Amino acid sequence: MLAHPMNNKESIDFTSLRPVAGKRNFVSKSVEETITRIKEDISDPELAWLFENCFPNTLDTTVTYSEPDGRPDTFVITGDIHAMWLRDSSAQVWPYLPLTKQDEPLRRLVAGVINRQVKCILLDPYANAFLEGNEISEWKSDITDMKPGIHERKWEIDSLCYPIRLAYNYWKTTGNTSVFDSKWNEAMELIYATLKVQQRKENQGPYSFKRITAWQTDTVPGNGMGNPMRPVGLICSTFRPSDDATTFLFLIPSNYFAVVSLRQLSELCENVTGNKTLGTRSRKLADEVEQALKQYSITDHLDYGKVFVYEADGYGNRLMMDDSNVPSLLALPYLGCIDVNDPVYQNTRKFLFSDDHCWYFKGKAASGIGSPHTLKDMIWPMTIIMQAITSTNVEEIRECLRLLKSTHAGTGFMHESFHKDDPANFTRKWFAWANTLFGELVIKVHKEHPELL
């Protein structure tokens, strides 16, 4: 991954940091045209430079496309970790979806991601990350049912939601149904069965996870099963999208995401695959989870009124925070779970960007939300991007753009996190999801508030 040699902003010459054309993993004509078109309308040279570097980063550096037996297959690494997350791979190609309608090679690339995700889910629906072949993972000593081809086996609800989101919107965008074959249907049956089992109504289910580690959130309490919960209709998520263990098993943003995803699956079953039985069951499960969310996802805050909680256990215990990875409480409108003007969401938003939120940090360089994953005082560009994407306030969006522009530490790319007082102190120099998400934000701003560019 290329990094800019200068940290002094005045020394940056804004020369593209993309790999040279012949060394890019995948080239899309429509993506290149989009970069040229948007850049022409950006008067700020640094912002234009960041967009040119970041938006194509997934295609430039992380995808491996092939067509075994004439069928698209796309393996997508996250960046500096050579493995494919179901969540990240979906999110990384998401901003390119609108372009697939007129770009056949790009459409096939995204179809390849969907096909590869099906293979991953059929290998193990509880795994969050996978290897390209049948390699043995560096995490082979984890005390769980590890298999060749699995990179990490952390059960996260969103890992099964993202592939539905991608496939559904691929269908809506392109009208193409080639990916919806018997294997896709088999994977969707497995997704439904897994989510149903993880309601844990009758027993704790087959999944457990333990890791020998000094990092508390990298293993699971309760002998690998998680802390106690009361079956109330919500779905248990042993880990968060950050790959950190949950404190309480009912991860609220992921349950909201599951409701949306199950309804999308139901629509696909009824209109594309003809699997009406799975469609009916998926819709029924979505309704049940939604009903439980009405009772367990909202609480009364002394200062902010009714707000969403981050985690719950069905016994009345609640965790009041948000994390940086998506799904998050902040990102609920982005995922189509909540209307951005919903009063509970707006109350929650006020809480999240306040000193009353333990993972909100203010420093010399920036203010923003961090994560237990990167510890205290580390702000995530992803949350600044998501703050702007979900904002209805032009000045707030302007400030988010300013922060993103001033905290990349001269590298020309987004990072996982940076220190609130020193952006040069950052984690993950090659994090493709954050880069592509930044590109998505710039395109959105270009469409809705071009004056900010």
Contacts of 277 (CB under 8 A, 6+ apart): none
CA distances from 173 to 91, 161, 271, 436 (A): 16, 18, 15, 19
Print pLDDT tens along the chain (453 aa): 334 433 444 567 899 999 999 999 999 999 999 999 999 999 999 999 999 999 999 999 999 999 998 999 999 999 999 999 999 999 999 999 999 999 999 999 999 999 999 999 999 999 999 999 999 999 999 999 999 999 999 999 999 999 999 999 999 999 999 999 999 999 999 999 999 999 999 999 999 999 999 999 999 999 999 999 999 999 999 999 999 999 999 999 999 999 999 999 999 999 999 999 999 999 999 999 999 999 999 999 999 999 999 999 999 999 999 999 999 999 999 999 999 999 999 999 999 999 999 999 999 999 999 999 999 999 999 999 999 999 999 999 999 999 999 999 999 999 999 999 999 999 999 999 999 999 999 999 999 999 999
Long-range Cβ contacts of 348-353 (<8 Å, 24+ apart): 348/304, 348/307, 348/308, 349/390, 350/304, 351/301, 351/303, 351/304, 351/307, 351/320, 352/322, 353/387
Which residue from 168, 92, 88 is spatially nearest to 120, judged by alpha carbons? 88
